[in-house]
């Protein structure tokens, strides 16, 4: 039969924010896909050395954070927000990282992510994810985000349309990595591929900007050595 129980406070708050996002933003999603073989090859070559030097493993998320930071600096509309009749632009990137917990989804924020190295990004993600799952995040660690990355791929999601985290105007959705046949020149080869989804606020970001931003993220991810060298 039916069973009723009070909605937990965090679930109620999440529900309010999702409805607010739907009602206030003109949300649209654009898609692309990224060949992950460059990142896989680089990690396989340097992961042990990286761990020895920095004391932390080299995961995937740092590549996505770094790629988004670079693209956001080149496309400031995606890092901006609407405040009444004004547009607020920022010369910093506060990157929200969506983390699933027993109490629901929370989005801790990496403040001034543009200043962080790959090792710092990895250690900060590990720290905030652990704090999130233990329910120990402070309010300052959950506020002030300018862009968000969410990874449904850890749960097996192949494709999704993420919902904005107001007042942000962009959110990147990562998804499951699958080996798929792709055309490289005149040959068909099997590569580890991931679909990317960018949901954006069409009130501020036009279609061309959203598409070129996502293509820029894709290009950065497919040439990770160049991204790490900052050239």
Please enumerate in sequence order all residues whose Cβ is within 8 A of that of 120, keeping only pairs 6 or more positions apart, or say none. none
The CA distances from residue 200 to 14, 105, 157, in Å, are 19, 20, 20
Q: Is 175 annotated as catalytic?
A: no
Q: How far is residue 172's CA from residue 163's CA, in Å, rounded to a whole number?
A: 10
What is the predicted pLDDT for the residue at 8?
A: 80
Catalytic residue among 54, 202, 219, 223: 202
CA distance 33 to 58: 22
Q: Which of 67-76, 115-124, 132-141 has the lowest mean pLDDT?
A: 132-141
Catalytic residue among 102, 201, 206, 219: 206
**Mean of pLDDT values over 74-98:** 97
- Give yes or no for a contact between 11 and 100, defined as CB atoms under 8 angstroms apart: no
Query: Tokens 């993600």 identify what position?
Result: 125
| 10 pLDDT higher than 80 | no
Q: 182 and 35 in contact (C-beta within 8 Å)? A: yes
- Domains in the chain and their CATH numbers? 9-229 (3.30.559.10)
In the annotation, is 219 catalytic? no
CB 167 within 8 A of CB 200: no
Q: Which of 4-18, 80-94, 162-176, 214-228 has the lowest mean pLDDT?
A: 4-18
Q: pTM to 2 decimals?
A: 0.93
Burial state string for 158-177 with b = 16 or more CB within 10 A and e = fewer than 16:
eebebbbbbbbbbbbbbbbb
Instruction: Give the alpha-carbon dihedral of 26, 194, 190, 180, to 10 degrees.
Output: -60
């Amino acid at each position: 039969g039916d069973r009723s129980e009070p909605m937990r406070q965090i679930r109620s708050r999440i529900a309010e924010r999702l409805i607010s996002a739907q009602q206030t933003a003109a949300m649209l999603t654009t898609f692309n896909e990224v060949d992950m073989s460059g990142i896989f090859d680089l990690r396989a070559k340097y992961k042990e050395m990286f761990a020895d030097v920095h004391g932390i493993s080299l995961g995937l998320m740092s590549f996505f954070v770094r790629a988004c930071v670079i693209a956001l600096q080149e496309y400031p509309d995606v890092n901006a927000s609407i405040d009444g009749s004004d547009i607020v632009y920022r010369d910093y990137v506060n990157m929200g990282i969506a983390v699933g917990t027993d109490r629901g989804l929370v989005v801790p924020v990496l403040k001034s992510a543009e200043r962080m190295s790959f090792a710092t990004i990895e250690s900060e993600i590990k720290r905030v994810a652990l704090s999130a799952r233990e329910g120990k995040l402070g309010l300052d660690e959950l506020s002030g985000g300018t862009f968000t990355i969410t990874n449904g791929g850890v749960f097996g999601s192949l494709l999704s349309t993420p919902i904005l985290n107001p007042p942000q105007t962009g959110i990147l959705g990562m998804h499951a990595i699958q080996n798929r046949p792709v055309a490289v020149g005149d040959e068909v080869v099997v590569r580890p591929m991931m679909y990317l989804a960018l949901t954006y606020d069409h009130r501020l970001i036009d279609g061309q900007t959203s598409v070129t931003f996502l293509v820029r993220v894709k290009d950065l991810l497919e040439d990770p050595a160049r991204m790490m060298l900052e050239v």
